[in-house]
C-alpha cells in the first residue's frame, strides 16, 4: 500500500497530495527527488516499483523478507539499500513489537518499505518538510530523517522494559519468588531488542566514513547525533540484559531457599509423626496383649490393684522406656 508519494525540489514539496507511481518515476528525471512510502506492500506492488525505478531484484527480495539484521549495501546505479529494525512497546500487553523498514536511496528517489506497526514514518516526513534547508541537500536527508525516527522510537521501548524489570527486581530482592516465565520472557524481549539495536551501530559509523552517499558538512552533525543516541540505547539494553541475568540467578536462589524451607517443615512433620508412631507402637502391643481372652487374664485380674499394676503400669512402663530411648538418640 502506498502511504505517500511526493516530489521534492529545492527543499520544497511540489504537490499537496500523493502522486501516482508512474508519474513519480517520470518526475525523477525532472530534477529534485521523489520519496515513495510503502506499508506492507505485496509482491506484485513491489515488482511494479522495482521495474519503474530500476531496483536490484535481490534488494527487493530482502525488502519482502522479515527479521533480517540491520545492514547497508550498495548496488549498481548509485543505489544504497538500508535495512532497519523498528520496535514499539505495547503498554496494554507489556510486550515489545518489532518491525522493519527497508530504504532504497538513489540519486533521484527514496523508497521506504515499512513492515509492522512500529515507527510510523509520516512524522519523519513532516519534520523534514519543516526544514527545507535539509531537504535541499538531497535524498540522504530522507535517510537521516528515517534513521532519526527509528532510533528515537527506541527510547519508549527502553523505558517500558525498564519498568518491567524494576517490577521483577522488587519482587525478587524482597525475598519473594517471581514467575520464572516472566523473567525468561523479558530476557527474550531484551535480547531481540539488542539484536535490533546493536548491529545498527556499524552502518551508522560507516555512514560517517562515507558509507552513505552525499553526506556533507550540513548533515554530518545530524548523523553523529543519531549515532550518539543509538550508542546510549545500546548501553542501556546491554545493562538490562545483565540485570535480567542477575534477577534470574537471584530468583533461582530464592526458589532454592523456599524449597529448603519446605523440606525443613516436612522433615519436622515427619519427625513428629515418627515420635507419635514410636510411642503408640508398644502401647498397642500392651493393650492387644491384655485384650486376649485367656482364662488367667480374665479370672485372676479382677481387683483394682491388679488393673493398676498390670493395666496402667503396663502402659506407663513402655512410655518411660521410649522417652528414655528418644533422649539418648537425640544426645547421640
DSSP code per residue over 146-177: HHHHHHHTHHHHHHHHHHHHHHHHHHHHTTPP
Contacts of residue 178, defined as CB under 8 A and 6 or more positions apart, other chains included, come to 168, 171, 172, 247, 251, 254
Q: Closest Cα to residue 217, out of 111, 151, 140?
A: 140
Per-residue pLDDT at 316: 75
In contact, 138 and 110? CB cutoff 8 Å:
no
Q: Is the pLDDT of residue 211 over 90?
A: no
Confidence band, pLDDT 50/70/90 cuts, at residue 103: very high
DSSP character for 6? E
Beta strands in the chain (DSSP E): 2-9, 12-13, 33-39, 71-75, 79-90, 95-105, 109-115
| Position with higher pLDDT, 309 vs 167 | 167
Task: Looking at the structure, tell me whether residues 175 and 295 fall in a common domain.
Answer: no
Q: Closest Cα to residue 112, out of 153, 155, 53?
A: 53
Per-residue pLDDT at 202: 78
Final residue of a structural domain among 257, 279, 300: 257
Per-residue pLDDT at 291: 65
**Mean pLDDT of the chain, nearest integer:** 81
Per-residue pLDDT at 111: 94
Task: Looking at the structure, tell me whether residues 180 and 161 fall in a common domain.
Answer: yes
| Position with higher pLDDT, 229 vs 284 | 229
C-alpha cell at 132: 527545507
Task: Looking at the structure, tell me whether residues 203 and 279 fall in a common domain.
Answer: no
Query: For 96-104, what is the mean pLDDT?
Result: 91
Final residue of a structural domain among 192, 227, 257: 257
Does residue 249 sit within a domain? yes
Confidence band, pLDDT 50/70/90 cuts, at residue 290: low
Does residue 262 sit within a domain? no
Task: Looking at the structure, tell me whether residues 233 and 107 fall in a common domain.
Answer: yes
Task: Looking at the structure, tell me whether residues 276 and 139 fall in a common domain.
Answer: no
Question: Which helix (DSSP H) or strand (DSSP E) does residue 178 occupy?
Answer: none
Read off the CATH number of the domain in which 249 is found: 3.30.460.20
Question: What does residue 24 show for φ and ψ, rounded to 5 degrees?
Answer: -60, -40
pLDDT one-digit tens code per residue, 112-144: 999 887 778 888 999 999 989 988 888 889 999
Q: Closest Cα to residue 95, out of 87, 84, 85?
A: 87
Per-residue pLDDT at 318: 73
Residue appearing with cell numbers 491384655: 290
In contact, 285 and 321? CB cutoff 8 Å:
no
Per-residue pLDDT at 232: 93
Task: Looking at the structure, tell me whether residues 149 and 183 fall in a common domain.
Answer: yes
Task: Looking at the structure, tell me whether residues 198 and 279 fall in a common domain.
Answer: no
Does residue 305 sit within a domain? yes
Per-residue pLDDT at 205: 76
Question: Which helix (DSSP H) or strand (DSSP E) does residue 220 occupy?
Answer: helix 220-290
Does residue 263 sit within a domain? no
Task: Looking at the structure, tell me whether residues 306 and 244 fall in a common domain.
Answer: no
Task: Looking at the structure, tell me whether residues 181 and 230 fall in a common domain.
Answer: yes
How do strand 12-13 and strand 79-90 relate by DSSP bridges?
A: unpaired
Q: What total of structural domains would you count in the chain?
A: 2
Task: Looking at the structure, tell me whether residues 177 and 231 fall in a common domain.
Answer: yes
Task: Looking at the structure, tell me whether residues 216 and 166 fall in a common domain.
Answer: yes
Does residue 168 sit within a domain? yes
Containing domain of residue 319, as a range? 268-331
Q: How many CB atoms lie within 10 A of CB 322?
A: 17
Task: Looking at the structure, tell me whether residues 293 and 253 fall in a common domain.
Answer: no
Distance CA 13, CA 34 (A): 9
pLDDT one-digit tens code per residue, 145-197: 999 999 999 999 999 999 988 888 787 776 665 677 788 888 888 988 998 88
Coil, strand or helix at 100: strand
Distance CA 282, CA 263 (A): 29
Final residue of a structural domain among 257, 281, 308: 257
Amino acid at each position: 500500500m502506498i502511504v505517500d508519494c511526493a516530489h521534492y525540489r529545492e527543499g520544497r514539496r511540489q504537490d499537496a497530495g500523493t502522486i501516482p507511481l508512474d508519474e513519480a518515476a517520470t518526475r525523477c528525471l525532472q530534477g529534485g527527488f521523489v520519496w515513495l512510502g510503502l506499508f506492507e506492500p505485496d509482491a506484485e506492488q513491489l515488482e511494479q516499483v522495482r521495474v519503474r525505478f530500476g531496483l536490484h531484484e535481490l534488494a527487493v527480495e530482502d525488502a519482502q523478507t522479515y527479521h533480517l539484521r540491520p545492514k547497508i549495501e550498495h548496488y549498481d546505479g548509485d543505489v544504497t539499500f538500508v535495512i532497519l529494525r523498528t520496535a514499539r512497546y505495547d503498554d496494554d500487553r507489556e510486550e515489545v513489537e518489532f518491525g522493519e523498514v527497508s530504504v532504497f536511496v538513489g540519486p533521484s528517489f527514496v523508497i521506504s518499505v515499512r513492515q509492522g506497526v512500529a515507527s510510523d514514518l509520516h512524522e519523519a516526513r513532516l519534520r523534514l518538510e519543516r526544514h527545507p534547508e535539509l531537504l535541499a541537500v538531497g535524498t540522504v536527508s530522507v535517510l537521516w530523517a528515517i534513521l532519526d525516527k527509528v532510533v528515537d522510537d527506541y527510547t519508549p521501548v527502553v523505558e517500558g522494559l525498564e519498568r518491567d524489570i524494576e517490577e521483577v527486581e522488587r519482587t525478587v530482592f524482597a525475598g519473594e519468588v517471581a514467575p520464572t516465565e516472566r523473567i525468561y520472557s523479558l530476557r527474550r524481549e531484551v535480547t531481540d531488542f539488542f539484536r535490533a539495536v546493536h548491529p545498527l551501530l556499524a552502518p551508522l559509523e560507516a555512514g560517517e566514513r562515507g558509507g552513505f552517499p552525499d553526506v556533507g558538512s550540513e548533515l554530518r552533525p545530524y548523523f553523529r547525533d543519531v549515532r550518539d543516541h543509538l550508542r546510549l540505547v545500546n548501553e542501556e539494553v546491554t545493562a538490562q540484559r545483565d540485570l535480567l541475568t542477575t534477577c534470574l540467578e537471584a530468583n533461582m536462589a530464592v526458589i532454592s531457599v523456599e524449597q529448603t524451607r519446605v523440606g525443613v517443615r516436612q522433615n519436622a512433620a515427619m519427625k513428629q509423626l515418627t515420635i507419635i508412631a514410636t510411642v503408640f507402637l508398644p502401647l498397642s502391643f500392651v493393650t492387644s496383649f491384655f485384650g486376649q481372652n485367656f482364662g488367667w487374664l480374665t479370672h485372676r485380674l479382677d481387683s483394682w490393684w491388679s488393673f493398676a499394676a498390670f493395666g496402667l503400669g503396663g502402659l506407663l512402663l513402655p512410655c518411660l522406656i521410649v522417652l528414655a530411648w528418644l533422649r539418648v538418640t537425640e544426645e547421640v
